[in-house]
Amino acid sequence: MDSGLAGKSPRPGMTTNVWQSMPDKFDITLNINGRDYAVRAEARRTLVDVIRDDCGLTGTHIGCEHGICGACTVILDDEAVRACLMFAVQAQGKKIRTVEGLANGDTLHPIQQAFIDHHGLQCGFCTPGFLMLAVNVLERQPDISDEEILDVLASNLCRCTGYQNIIKAVRAAAAEMRKGAT
């Protein structure tokens, strides 16, 4: 297909075509769960791919790769994001949190404990995404209502649980986290 760029000269004053001068790979540092990971990544690589393949943190899952399912949800500077919709290079300089950063040693985060207590998972494929989504909203909005929790959770997909136990788990974690904050 003709891109319309073939045979075009560099802009006046430019000695090299801009496409030729673009590096194939970029050296970036990703701060994940408080630790720096130095990686070399092509500009086209998604954040979730680099987190999993280059940083070895495979707790973040890949489902649809289209921003629909939420399996790849991570927290980026206090905001839950779909890591399949971002390039890794865009995350440089930001603080990334993944499911591996939730527990404190052997002590599970209240949201993890609540998923166990309320049977909020079956196969577990969607679980890291739900955990990060829930933690983010409960930290930002500790007094969130039960109805608002429903709205938030509607953004992620689970093929197994029928959602009821996920909802129960998040409501229980919300209560637990509020207790811990007082």
Count residues binding ligand FES (CB under 6 A): 23
66-125: which residues touch ligand FES (CB under 6 A)?
67-72, 82, 84, 121-125
Nearest-angstrom CA–CA distance, 37 and 122: 32
H-state helical runs in the chain: 18-21, 47-49, 110-117, 127-140, 146-153, 164-181
Q: Segment contacting ligand FES (CB under 6 A): 1-9, 63-71, 97-105, 144-152? A: 63-71
Three-state DSSP at 21 gives: helix
**Termini Cα distance of the chain:** 63
Residue closer to ligand FES, measured from CB, 54 or 178: 54
Q: Which is nearer to ligand FES, 8 or 119 (CB)?
A: 119
The amino acid occupying position 180 is: G
Place of tokens 């690589």: 45
| Residue among 70 and 101 whose Cβ is closer to ligand FES | 70
- Say how far apart CA 141 and CA 86 lie, in whole Å: 25
Which stretch, 12-20, 58-66, 97-105, 141-149, contacts ligand FES (CB under 6 A)?
A: 58-66
| 68 versus 178: smaller Cβ distance to ligand FES | 68
Residue from 98, 136, 161, 165 binding ligand FES (CB under 6 A): 161
Q: Candidates 5-13, 18-26, 61-69, 111-119 — which segment interacts with ligand FES by CB under 6 A?
A: 61-69
Q: How far is the CB of 176 from ligand FES (least distance, A)?
A: 21
- Assigned token pair, 172: 């229980």
Pattern 18-37, ligand FES, x by CB under 6 A = --------------------
Nearest Cα to Cα of residue 125 among 163, 159, 79: 159
Q: Does 167 bind ligand FES (CB under 6 A)?
A: no
With beta carbons less than 8 A apart as the criterion, state whether 112 and 106 touch: no
> Do residues 90 and 116 make contact, with C-beta atoms less than 8 angstroms apart?
no
Contact set with ligand FES (CB under 6 A): 62-65, 67-72, 82, 84, 121-127, 158-161
